[in-house]
Amino acid sequence: MKVLVIGSGGREHTIVWKIAQSPKVDKIYCAPGNGGISELAECVDINVMDKEKMTAFAKENSIDLAVVAPDDPLVDGMADALEAAGIRAFGPKANAAIIEGSKAFSKELMKKYNIPTANYEVFTESAPAIEYLKKGTFPAVIKADGLALGKGVIIAQNLAEAEDAVHEMIDNGKFGKSGSRVVIEDYLTGPEVSVLAFTDGKTVKPMVSAQDHKRAYDNDEGLNTGGMGTFSPSRLYDKAKADECMENIFMPTIKAMAAEGRPFKGVLYFGLMMTDSGVKVIEYNCRFGDPETQVVLPRLKTDLVDIMEAVIDERLDEIDIEWEDNAAVCVVMASGGYPVKYEKGYEISGLDDVRDDNDIIVFHAGTAVKDGRFVTNGGRVLGVTAVAENLDKAIEKAYTAVDKIHFKDAHFRHDIGIKKY
């Protein structure tokens, strides 16, 4: 088989790495890919949003399976375009990807189908939004409706901050069209767990759980980032929680999307909060999470291509998905200054020192190859991942590997996986 993976980050490196293990696969392309991915796949310089070029490339190269990994092209209809061109595509169509593309849509869906989430209201004008905030309590949560590179959520501590956020989004167009509509919702508290699930629109098969670390610095301080590290499994997500989620959240969501005429086929990501009054949905993503994928797929025993084909053919109920009884930890090594301002082009050394260790996999998020050497090429540079029999051992292994890898101004958190909540 010939497979095309669309995207360029650590998540895509992980998907390519897993697909490369399938005996069915002869050739992998990645558009546009990155330095690390180029060791496993032929990288082709096509923008992830360019549906015309992407479908033309897929047709010319007789691609048997195209995997659309990032949110933007999914919400924009990349899977629809590939399918219309006769290419088998893994990833939801635009009418289902809206579950991530519009928070107003996903909140209405949850309300209509009684799926537990924070109470909310939707506004398209600032005056009524501010009136509503004046009557509420703080902190309050203000979210841009559309995709905003993970920056569209403001936790306002008081009315002044809330007013600022509303004006910025609605009146000043801070997130463009994405913020012209805002969701204001109640602030919930509790630990967060990510559960990614395969679904073919009828059956849902959750993957092993994971937890992300969104803040830039140790002890959850500093700015929000795309994710500074992950671990799997979550210590909090036991069988009882998994059963609760299947009954109250996962299956109801799949049924709701089907009932709305928007069957969701692909990976649905459930961002969950464990509150005192049960598990609630914080967000849905229409795709594999990044960097959750880096700790989830290394624990998957089953051939990923078999699962993806079963999803496309709507026979996910027929396939047994098996997981290793182990743990994985991913420590993100980022460029100094990330998530604000950072330099690119620094040489990365030490990768060969961890290459022979089968329990360490270095997923590249933002690297390029220059004169035959890897250089930094993004905010998040590497996801240094370790697998071991338990979390404590995986943490130790991951940090031993991180200590061997160097680039100028490298920044990483020292506490990935240690939180016991």
Binding residues for ligand AMP, rule: CB under 6 A, are 118, 141, 150, 153, 185, 187-188, 192, 214, 271, 282-283
Minimum CB–partner distance for residue 289 and ligand GLY (Å): 3
Number of residues binding to ligand GLY, judged by CB under 6 A? 6
Closest separation in Å from C-beta 108 to ligand AMP: 15
Residue 222 binds which one of ligand GLY, ligand AMP, none, with CB within 5 to 8 A depending on kind?
none
CA atoms within 13 A on the CB side of 381: 30
Verify binding: residue 285, ligand GLY, rule CB under 6 A: yes
Per partner kind, with CB cut-offs from 5 to 8 A, the member of ligand GLY, ligand AMP, none near residue 227 is: ligand GLY
292 in contact with ligand GLY (CB under 6 A): yes
Contacts 24+ apart (CB under 8 A), 157-160: 159/133, 159/134
- 10 Å Cβ neighbour count for 276? 7
Of 51 and 380, which CB lies nearer to ligand AMP in the complex structure?
Answer: 380
- Tell me whether residue 19 or residue 196 sits nearer to ligand GLY (CB atom): 196
Q: How far is the CB of 123 from ligand GLY (least distance, A)?
A: 24
Return the one option of ligand AMP, ligand GLY, none that residue 290 interacts with (CB less than 5 to 8 A, by type): ligand GLY
CB of 300 to ligand GLY, least distance (A): 17
Report the partner that residue 153 touches, choosing among ligand GLY, ligand AMP, none (CB closer than 5 to 8 A by kind). Answer: ligand AMP
Determine if 289 is a binding residue for ligand GLY (CB under 6 A).
yes
Residue 140 or 330 having the CB closest to ligand GLY = 330
Q: Which residues between 201 and 260 bind ligand GLY (CB under 6 A)?
A: 212, 227
- The DSSP bridge partners found for residue 192 are 273
Which of residues 370 and 421 has its CB atom nearest to ligand AMP in the complex? 421
Interface with ligand GLY (CB under 6 A)? 212, 227, 285, 289-290, 292
